[in-house]
Structure 1
């Protein structure tokens, strides 16, 4: 398997159960393709996260015809060559090296504002290919440790939780104004926010506190997927998960597989909650969290969700209540 190109393995993973089906019922292929095309993917060497039905269908027939060889990309005749003028290549590379965290969109905006290129002259894929050829693309994984690849939606609530931190507003803390950090855990199948809280930092203690509240309220997940940062790597967090029987999985840097739903929720949260928040009226962190929890319970969890066939996150979560793992006797082990 080590000799199979990563893109071929990715295409194979997208096809999923299709590769093991000897026969499909009439119309079944189209339904499956529509479902696969509606998902988000971490596509190797690409900034996109969606695939077209025709693309997946072509891979399916290539697999049926030639097996894994049919999924191996054919080399381009102009591979390694760039159609960009040398001075534009230099400008792109310099912009990236000046700020390694600068996005492709940010590089394009910068070059346009400087007059280096005309508006919309550069495509994102062109910039990405150049950065990748120079070893400057940040959409690259480490082969040193296993990765959690995900191309599906969890079947049941409680199967997978995703955790992430978002920078929040400044609030009165410790006699001054300090930034608050929103630590959130989302259930994959239902999009329910099992717990979320604004914290004074994004340390392991802050993350553990949110996790403990989540399991007390919502039971135990089978798997918890979080970022690969130092705070998340804390031994104390790993110990909590081990005591509670939670499988802790780390995403690779810059490519958080499967967390697209949580990131989209962050956008919704900014648009619907933060944009309406009058920070001048906040008394302290507790006041901010009280408003957050009221919004979650009364608005977000009760609003029909397009990704849930019109059901609300709370309705979808409650559908699987009989299957959820309760904390039970393990409650005594949370703070060991």
Structure 2
């Protein structure tokens, strides 16, 4: 399965507030695009923090036409070239070096005032590309602007899930106390916890594990709302959501009110579950999770919820069962969707390393870079793929002892007529030059 370009995943995450809407009112596209252009982003492969309105709008229409394929970066035909006259290039670089805080607009106005260029003849993009080539571009920043926030609820169960992590207690694990983290996914319309589990970390791998179980138990949501933490920004999670047709939406940093219902669930969990927990019964992570899951199914999901008009989360969720997106044919491929791909260089002995272990791959790949396909949840290596996502072989644990009796493959020599070499020979050439033989 071909990996999805990280820049395309980033662009899709920027478009979240647009593509997650079923329809846009008149003038709403420009308003949302304007708001998105005012935000700061961690742009892959760039030191900039802001995007232009035309750029975002172009991505939106490209996604509508071609889906994720429309967001793939297209290389410029003039990449690495600057068409500005040499004198203008030197003037731009000098203006920036003279005052590194000068913006592109200030540089353009300075050159126009000095008569170096005609008014309006110098584009911002030309200046930007030149400064970038010279390593003189500077990160610009601006203060965050307030965004209007309003309470809302999804119309149907399965429309929106929320994901977040809560810091949990310290429990005994392998003979010592370890802090645990509660990773949860909640359905917005019903307040049902599609899956939740205590984990030893809050990494992307922990979040993916909880998401996989939620999909198996509760079907596929249409939108997944998460915060801006590094774990949720992982390319693997973004790729999984793209392949499942789930819109991954990021809340504004430092704005927990965007997931108020999940924050309320955390408080309920602390008060009613952790507050009632008997520590003497907890001897490890399995004990803690077993009690969490029993409490969820027997207590939380069956307790009337004031925000649901007295209905229980389970009853509200079951009310929309006909609308829930089933996994369907994807169920058989679910394990494959959650596989990771890590780049590895194949050693000269035909092995690669993963999680401290060594694995043998086809010897023809020695010296090349490959994509190692792994199941990180099971710590298992599945196989090897090329850059296009095509399978090119297996990866098996290295058995150095067995290799001691293994017959090596040796390249065959190309025979020549009567064993006589037909190509150039330095020894015979030297002999001819020294003794003056007529034939070599």
TM-score category (smaller protein):
0.5 to 0.7
- Aligned pairs for 1:8-27 within 5 A: none
Residue 302 of structure 2 is matched in structure 1 by: 302
- Structure 1 residue matching 2:154: 3-state secondary structure: coil
1:236 equivalent to 2:239? Answer no
Report if the CA contact (8 A) 2:180-2:199 is conserved.
Answer: yes
- Aligned pairs for 1:255-266 within 5 A: 255-266=255-266
Cα deviation for residue 280 of structure 1 reads 3.1
State the distance in 2 between where 1:329 and 1:223 align: 20
State the distance in 1 between where 2:145 and 2:253 align: 9
Q: Which has the higher helix share?
A: 1
Q: What is the TM-score of this pair, normalised by structure 2? A: 0.43
Cα distance change on mapping 1:329 and 1:285 into 2, 3 Å: same
Residue 161 of structure 2 is matched in structure 1 by: 161
Residue 208 of structure 1 is matched in structure 2 by: 208
- Aligned pairs for 1:173-322 within 5 A: 173-322=173-322
Gaps of 5+ in 2: 1-24, 26-142, 340-440
Report if the CA contact (8 A) 1:165-1:202 is conserved.
Answer: yes
Cα deviation for residue 242 of structure 1 reads 1.1
Structure showing greater relative contact order (alpha-carbon pairs closer than 8 Å, 6 or more residues apart): 1
Report if the CA contact (8 A) 1:158-1:187 is conserved.
Answer: yes
- Structure 2 residue matching 1:213: 3-state secondary structure: helix
Q: What is the TM-score of this pair, normalised by structure 1? A: 0.55
Q: Which has the higher strand share?
A: 2
Counterpart pick for 1:335 among 338, 342, 348: 338
Report if the CA contact (8 A) 1:148-1:250 is conserved.
Answer: no
Report if the CA contact (8 A) 1:195-1:210 is conserved.
Answer: yes
- Aligned pairs for 1:30-179 within 5 A: 141=144, 151-179=151-179
- Residue correspondences, number: 195
Report if the CA contact (8 A) 2:281-2:287 is conserved.
Answer: no
Cα distance change on mapping 1:142 and 1:217 into 2, 3 Å: farther
Gaps of 5+ in 1: 1-16, 18-139
- Structure 2 residue matching 1:296: 3-state secondary structure: helix
Structure with max Cα Rg: 2
Report if the CA contact (8 A) 2:173-2:283 is conserved.
Answer: no
Cα deviation for residue 225 of structure 1 reads 0.4
Report if the CA contact (8 A) 2:225-2:250 is conserved.
Answer: yes
Report if the CA contact (8 A) 2:184-2:210 is conserved.
Answer: yes
